[in-house]
Amino acid sequence: MNRFLLTFLVSLFSTLCVNAQNFPNKSIKIVVGFAPGGGSDFVARTLAQDLGAVLGQQVIVDNKVGAGGGVAARLVASSEADGYTLLLGSAANFVINPLLSKNLPYETSDFSPVAPVARFSYALLVRKDLPVRAVSDLIAFAKQNPDQLTIGSAGNGSNTHVVATAFLFSTGTRMRHIPYKGTAPALTDLMGGTIDVLFDSTPTVYAMINGGSLRALAVTGPEREAVLSELPTLAELGLKSFNASNWFAIFAPKRTSVEVISKINASIQKTLSLPRVKKQFIDSGNLPIAGSASDLDQLVKNETALYKTLLTNAKITLD
């Protein structure tokens, strides 16, 4: 090997090691692909508040809205791989959208997994005057009246569309899908009686359910929600393999050093174990989840395989 090239490589390696040892020595930015006040923004800010204290540097949340989170993902993917610019990603960014779209402004291979953060399930909602009081009633009504009930979603290929389709497949029922541009207008129409059924995230709707303005029949996660403890899971009600949830996790630009990723991961684990942080997440309908970078990588791989089969069988597209 050329003597000068060898010297350069040794110098570069030494610099990277020193940078990793000194990390962090300035503020860190978590980029969120959606507007302030939303579910992903809440998760990022709840994490950032105490993560900064654990790391000894300020952690800033930067909202970069557009392209369903694609603008934020592209920004982080093109950032320097030094651990100072991170992405709050989700199943939509790293599983569903890559399976459905060939024109994403980023590649999932542009990122290195850092740490899972939180998971939430969905609530099965029906309009208040629909003559059903339980999931079994809804299934029976739908089978007796195929294609008569309408089921809303946040749009073709959205998480809520996938969850709705999985429910219909699991129960052998047929409903007319009504796609919206987001769950907010779908929820408005459900409350107004325009549509019959909707799956929406528990952090979004739990207060309205508890307040009596929405009727919920079940939740979709593997266990009951702390904020909706009276609602059974679909698995409890006989759909034993049904488990639908979404998650948030931290990703870094690819080529970020293992040492830096390990430091961030360890700091996130410590932050999520703090009682006040756990309480904030749980009280909002989110469940904090611990795990290594490898755990997150495996989660993405497992769910990609799962959703690929579901999307193919259900013929879900973004058309």
Contact between 91 and 305 (Cβ < 8 Å): no
d(CA 135, CA 152): 17
Nearest Cα to 86, choosing from 274, 282, 203, 260?
Answer: 260
The pLDDT of residue 8 is 52
Select the more confidently predicted residue: 11 or 47: 47
Contact between 19 and 82 (Cβ < 8 Å): yes
Residue 57 predicted with pLDDT over 90? yes
- Summarised one tens digit per residue, pLDDT across range 179-206 is 998 889 999 999 999 999 999 999 999 9
**Domains of the chain, each with CATH number or no CATH:** 3-120+246-314 (3.40.190.150), 121-228 (3.40.190.10)
Residue 150 predicted with pLDDT over 80? yes
d(CA 135, CA 212): 18
Paired strand residues for 59: 28
The pLDDT of residue 14 is 47
Mean pLDDT of 39-59: 96
How high is the mean pLDDT of the chain?
91
For the entire predicted model, the pTM comes to 0.86
Residue count (the chain):
319
Residue 318 predicted with pLDDT over 80? no
Residue 129 predicted with pLDDT over 50? yes
- Summarised one tens digit per residue, pLDDT across range 276-286 is 999 999 999 99
